[in-house]
Chains A and B, each alone.
Chain A
């Protein structure tokens, strides 16, 4: 079945350092979504990528969708304490979404 793998599982960074999480699918995806979950909270949608090779930016966050549409990445430049949380990618299959295992980001002030 479809699997969405995400690495790393955990990442600790000093405030101001950069952070990247990677998402890989065993199958080609029509699109990929990214979500952020703050500690004790619920997942909140960040962005959706649709096109092969697509790059989107949201302030300090840069999202990429691979040329083969099987991988994606989220890069945060100059992390801040407000970036703390778990970041999930999600790939669709018909009506369902398969979520990656998530990357938990800790930012050390």
Chain B
């Protein structure tokens, strides 16, 4: 099993450009998340999904859109990139059922720079 994969690994954009980050998981997890990580600020939730066809806003959703057309994929879109969106983006997934060790599995991250 590959776990959680993310593409691309690195990307440099100019202000105003658009792009889509792809997250894929092969663990049949219901829940998927997109986080951004900035120095000194930990992980902040952008958007999340509790199932195919459903998405919801997290802590910092402005400037981003998401889609979950298939259970295994969660896409994060930037319609008009801004320098403030320079960050490392992590995707994560987890099972729906609560209980012991209901951990989030993280992808390797995408390092995005907006000039």
Contacts and interface: CB of A to CB of B under 8 A. Distances in A.
Interface of A: 6, 9, 33, 35, 41-45, 47-48, 50, 88, 90, 95-102
A42 B104 contact: no
Nearest to B88: A42
A45 B102 CA distance: 9
A48 B101 contact: yes
B12 to A, nearest CB: 18
A96 B104 contact: no
Interface residues of B, number: 26
Interface string B19-52: 0000000000001010100001111110010100
B48 A96 contact: yes
Given A95-B48, A96-B48, A100-B42, A45 B104 contact: yes
A43 B90 contact: yes
